Structure 1
């Protein structure tokens, strides 16, 4: 798949999507559109069971395209730009193929919002993360005010967003923003390894697990448990459930068919 600002590759059952817009992989409209196209390809391709999302070079994504933001001349134009980014990032979060962010460098502003839309995040030990929009007289527009508060808590989200400071990968790990911190030269490989481990499982069970967590977390515990029970009942009727249980009883590796 040929795109101008995003690279799309297939490694077995894992799609590798790389933001490739030097020098800092800024998220302008064209980059967002190319990312959208790459996501659509990963969703369509039945071979893909997980996705790794990273940035080319020393940056993950250093933010939105400030030159484009500088041209905004109306409230409606600003809202349209925010909604464009939100729609694409919502697509990532709504995918039932898990997306692993390999945060290989600066992950700021729109880049931070992109990473938070992914299901899992692995950060290089040298990475810097933050929401510095307030330093430009702005607020996050691609979901940062909402996802950061949900990933951590309201107080932490307020501190990160109101100070506009940058934080280390270790600090992000301690508050639950990233799942793992690894050596800088290993971050993409670690993300691929995690994606491949997940890809070895049944596609239906992967999708239902994501659905249960993401739907349930927005409800009461009682409602979430009902969602879980319904999905558990559905998956009990799949071929993969039969194969997984039989393989366990026969002490062998299951051969899931994603059915």
Structure 2
């Protein structure tokens, strides 16, 4: 589901699953283990998240959603996903998304969970949140991570409600990414960001990042603990949603 290597004390996580690097729960568990390792090992400076081939990631692996047999199965899946996303969002050390190709849905959510986002300079790359078009809202952690990653409520509204897939120049203009980088410099630039932020006397980045993200992380955890959010996952038993998911999956298989 992922490839892992260490370069210059930085863990490079490469999403690698099928033609579009779709994200399964096992993918997230593997990434969570890396986050824990990076947090605990002083020799590791941070994380660069990228993808294999033409995709960064198309999002969650739709057959997992189609395979839910009950409301309870969907709830259990998302209970774990919410925890793993929050853990990634609160990784103590620098995390940089090096977006190498198309990036949508959960792929974009996980890129927003990073501290900085680079995208490869390519005219065909498209990025966006398509959930509204297939009948899926964001969960609590997903909402907060995406909203944190965008500049304001208006940008969030446009990204989420229109569900458009946009090019890299537009993504930079609206703050979806921080830099456009040439392909041969993508990983090196990501590593440079990590190193410049963490390799300073006393590593003040660690405290500053924790303070910067504390309110959002607390909001996620408090809402997950106090709100009846699990009720909403009956959407996966609705025929119109399941039909749309199956149609999208068949289209993706046809393209592959």
Specify the alignment match of 2:81 in structure 1.
85
Give the TM-score of the pair, scaled to structure 1.
0.75
RMSD across aligned C-alpha pairs, in angstroms? 2.2
Shift of 1:114: 0.4
Can you list the C-alpha shifts for 1:125-166, whole angstroms capped at 9, x where unaligned? 233211112222212347443333332222222222222211
Quick one: which of 134, 137, 141 aligns to 1:136?
Answer: 134
Q: 1:42 maps to which residue?
A: 38
Return closer, same or farther for 1:11/1:203 CA change in 2, 3 Å cut-off: farther
Task: Give unpaired runs (5+ residues) of structure 1.
Answer: 220-259
2:5 aligns with one of 3, 9, 21: 9
Asked which structure has the greater CA Rg, the reply is 1
The answer to whether the aligner puts 1:146 opposite 2:144 as a matched pair is yes
Q: Which residue of 2 aligns with 1:96?
A: 92
In structure 2, what is the equivalent of residue 163 of structure 1?
A: 162
Tell me which of the two structures has the higher relative contact order, counting C-alpha pairs closer than 8 angstroms and 6 or more residues apart. 2
Q: Retained in 1: the 8 A contact 2:90–2:217? A: no
SS in 2 for 1:166: coil
Matched, 1:180 2:171: no
Of the structure 1 ranges 23-32 and 168-177, higher mean CA displacement relative to structure 2 is found in 168-177
What does the per-residue CA deviation read over 1:173-221, in whole Å, with 9 as the maximum and x for residues that have no partner?
22222111112332222112222222322453110121232236899xx
Note the alpha carbon deviations across 1:36-87, whole angstroms, 9 max, x for none: 2222222232201221111112211111001111112333322332332221
5+ long unaligned stretches in structure 2: 219-256
State the alpha-carbon separation in 2 of the partners of residues 29 and 104 from structure 1: 22
Q: Deviations over 1:89-129 (max 9, x none)?
A: 21122122010110111110010110011111111123321
Contact kept, 8 Å, 2:89 with 2:145, in 1: the verdict is no
